Structure 1
Amino acid sequence: MAFQCQRDCYMKEFVTSVVSCCPADLKQEVNGKKETLKGFNVKLQDTILFPEGGGQPDDHGLIGDVPVLRVTRQGAEAIHFVRSSLEEGQEVQLKVDWERRFDHMQQHSGQHLITALADTMFGYKTTSWELGRQRSSIELDTPCVKPAELQALEEAVNEKIRAHVPVTVQLLSIDDPAVEKVRSRGLPDDHAGPIRIIDIEGVDANMCCGTHVSNLSHLQVIKLLGTEKGKKSKTNLIFLTGNRVLKYAEKSYSTERSLVSLLKTGADDHVEAVDKLQKSVKLLQKSNLSLLRDMAVLIAQNFKNSPQRGNFFSLHKKEGDNEFMNIIANEIGTEETLVFLTVGEEKGPGLFLLAGPSGVVTEMGPRVLEMLQGKGAGKNGRFQGKANSLARRGDVEAFLQEHCKHHASEEE
């Protein structure tokens, strides 16, 4: 069975009925965190919402006024996940998120065209592809694609677009001899019904379940951004089709204008200007590190020369690194002095070092780590690491001072 979205990829609204509605969970990732949503799996008499498959993501849309968050395929059925229950047997109107759908149609048909011509022109076979959110990629069975080949391929695909080549859909039975002549990477194990063939007239006939444009002119334009090294001697070809090219151009121009304002140079001079800035920053960083090292030595000497110095030294500095702290500890000498140093934002994340007599550091280190909500380890009289928050730095200092006073009184 072909769904209505496959019979007419351009249909935006459709009336059908609810076959079943069962409680279900949907696992998804939101802002990098995994969460499980409670809802319902809905089967419809037919659907214009494409279920994920063939390398193409699923459609989004509405059943009535209920948002459809996921559409998957189970055999010959499309399963729609929603948050609200729907009554079995009720008539409902579907609406597809057309911007998302048409974008997928453009990228998918664009992939078929690029794949076909890469094979015809250079013998490069497509082994997989990915329809990404911002850009798509085709995995080619070749270790590299030469720049001249990339240019020739881009010119060829856009020439087909300008030629208004029709794209049609054929439905063949699985035992039809014509199926053997069609390009395919195989059928899914749970395939049911006729074989669907996407035919780009005179260019390619390919077995596919996805939604496609009806004419290559609807692709508008294809831009091959370049290639990246793939796995196992393969090459990933990165491309944009149609509206994504327009959005890419708009974003690139906006970035260019921002750089003109920041760098005070024309667009053609941006690379040179950034190169100069990077070299200047490296020189400044080198000078800064040298100054920090000198400062660390002076800080340590000042403490050692102080007549009021005790057996505890504490310092916090916004700028610095592990080397800065270790220089101070080395210069002071930690055989008899407990040293507690931190660098970073006063109440934000940072680095810390606790150095002193081995037994004291081993005992105090874990407690300091806990108070700073950090991660670290210690050995040979040094305990250092990263602090998630330096907000309790004062508490740590008071805790260590109290320990030093108690230890000094015991010795007396």
Structure 2
Amino acid sequence: MKLFYEDVNLQTFQAKKIDEGTDEQGRRYVVLDQTAFYPTGGGQPHDTGLLNQAPVYNVEEVDGAVRHYIEGTDPLLETVHGEVNWDRRFDHMQQHAGQHILSAAFENNFNLKTVSFHLGEEVCSVDLEAEQVSDEVLSMAERQANELVLENRPIETKWVSQEELKQYPLRKDVAVTDDIRLVIIPEADYNGCGGTHPTSTGQVGAINILHTEKQRGQTRVYFVCGKRVTRQLSEKHEVIQALTAKMSAPQEKLVDAADRLLDQNRQLEKTVEELKSQLLTFEAKQYQGDVVKEVFTDRPVAELQKLAKMIIAGPDQKTVLFVNETDDKLQLVCGRGAEVTTDMNKLIKSVLPLIDGRGGGKPDFAQGGGEKRMSAEAFLEACVANI
């Protein structure tokens, strides 16, 4: 017997053990003649708790039997005292009921159907049948959902037959034909559901939409309910307080302060790039001779590519071979001027096998890298020998 359907607020119970075993994954489980533990299903996670002080870490329904997966190896007595982790259960009840209310607000007022629901450990989400949902609609749906919470309407459950379903304006078709359980918020939501919910909307506490994202032609709406709203508010308050102190700006001016800081950062980055370019130009002029070869340590490859291109942009007979050494890799950048006939792409393909590397490019410029199987100096000399 599923006691959570008889009394959703039941936290402790007595039962008899009717089966005990180990599943194919080696997990120990117990089956009882009755239980208040909710098994995973309908988008709602399982309960946890204790059976005679043995921790219950998972609950699943397998072939009609509710399996309680327990820790430990001590024998379980025939008579079992069960205790449900109420904080976890009530949190799930708040989130699940909140989803019903929020989905009803989207559909009843904006014709936005919910196609899936996920109850996560930190946040929940619903996928709406729409590519885009405006901020205005999100705000209005959240406000209407919270108004329904404040009205403290009853949340009723009822077992009905297939024929009796016709009496109710269901939000979506039910997935079963027998043992149909409806969760009803009068004049707001009529939905087939096997999950656990509080007995009134007021127990949901509050509903807060966090953000949205596009999801394969649909819109995923992330939200929290009940105690999770308070937790989210507390976390955000801590962040805002820290930013207020760091940016020397009150909360209402944090966005403006952040915009100014980002503008300053962009200007600084632009200045740094200009100075780097000037330094590279100066550095390029220092290299003499037709073949420029050098080993670097932990130099950014993009920087070496830019330096090499500056060098070969001068005299047309220049050839550049740069090897960069990191903790575990060797990287090669090579280029040539217009009067040089060496194919840089063929050159790099001929030497990279020495370091089990990969790379390529064009006849006048190529790059690649691989494992540090030899010294950087030896690899550079191998490149020179292949010109």
Distance between the aligned counterparts of 2:382 and 2:135, measured in 1? 68
Q: Tell me if structure 1 keeps the 8 A contact 2:321–2:332.
A: no
Q: Deviations over 1:189-240 (max 9, x none)?
A: 6x7x6222222244333211001011212111122345544544x5444432
List runs of 5+ in structure 1 lacking aligned partners: 26-37, 371-375
Distance between the aligned counterparts of 2:152 and 2:99, measured in 1? 17
Q: CA deviation at 1:53?
A: 1.8
Distance between the aligned counterparts of 2:274 and 2:356, measured in 1? 29
Q: Tell me if structure 2 keeps the 8 A contact 1:365–1:383.
A: no
Aligned pair 1:293/2:277, yes or no? yes
RMSD, aligned α-carbons: 3.6
Distance between the aligned counterparts of 2:65 and 2:175, measured in 1? 14
Distance between the aligned counterparts of 1:326 and 1:198, measured in 2? 65
Distance between the aligned counterparts of 2:86 and 2:208, measured in 1? 22
Q: CA deviation at 1:149?
A: 4.5
Partner of 2:107: 119
Choose which of 364, 378, 381 in structure 1 pairs with 2:360: 378
Distance between the aligned counterparts of 1:70 and 1:377, measured in 2? 50
Aligned pair 1:363/2:363, yes or no? no
Partner of 2:7: 8
Distance between the aligned counterparts of 2:79 and 2:359, measured in 1? 64
* Secondary structure of 2:285's aligned partner: helix
- What TM-score, normalized to structure 2? 0.80
Choose which of 291, 314, 338 in structure 1 pairs with 2:295: 314
Paired residues, number: 372
Partner of 2:127: 139
Q: CA deviation at 1:138?
A: 2.8
Partner of 1:254: 238
The letter of the residue matching 1:159 is E
* Secondary structure of 1:43's aligned partner: strand
The letter of the residue matching 1:158 is N
Q: CA deviation at 1:244?
A: 1.2
Aligned pair 1:220/2:205, yes or no? yes
Cα distance, 1:328–1:220 mapped onto 2, change above 3 Å: same
Partner of 2:94: 106
Q: Tell me if structure 1 keeps the 8 A contact 2:205–2:226.
A: yes
* Secondary structure of 1:265's aligned partner: coil
Alignment of 1:152-231 (within 5 A): 152-172=140-160, 174-178=161-165, 181=168, 183=170, 185-188=172-175, 194-225=179-210, 227-229=212-214, 231=216
Q: CA deviation at 1:148?
A: 4.9
- What TM-score, normalized to structure 1? 0.76
Partner of 1:373: none
The letter of the residue matching 1:365 is L
Cα distance, 1:184–1:22 mapped onto 2, change above 3 Å: farther
The letter of the residue matching 2:352 is G
Cα distance, 1:137–1:336 mapped onto 2, change above 3 Å: closer
Alignment of 1:29-48 (within 5 A): 38-48=26-36
Distance between the aligned counterparts of 1:263 and 1:6, measured in 2? 53
Partner of 1:397: 376
Distance between the aligned counterparts of 1:59 and 1:353, measured in 2? 57
Distance between the aligned counterparts of 2:102 and 2:234, measured in 1? 24
* Secondary structure of 1:384's aligned partner: strand
Q: CA deviation at 1:250?
A: 0.2
The letter of the residue matching 1:21 is G
Distance between the aligned counterparts of 1:289 and 1:382, measured in 2? 23
Q: Tell me if structure 1 keeps the 8 A contact 2:360–2:367.
A: yes
Cα distance, 1:297–1:41 mapped onto 2, change above 3 Å: farther
The letter of the residue matching 1:362 is K
Cα distance, 1:151–1:329 mapped onto 2, change above 3 Å: closer
Q: CA deviation at 1:253?
A: 0.4
Cα distance, 1:180–1:281 mapped onto 2, change above 3 Å: same
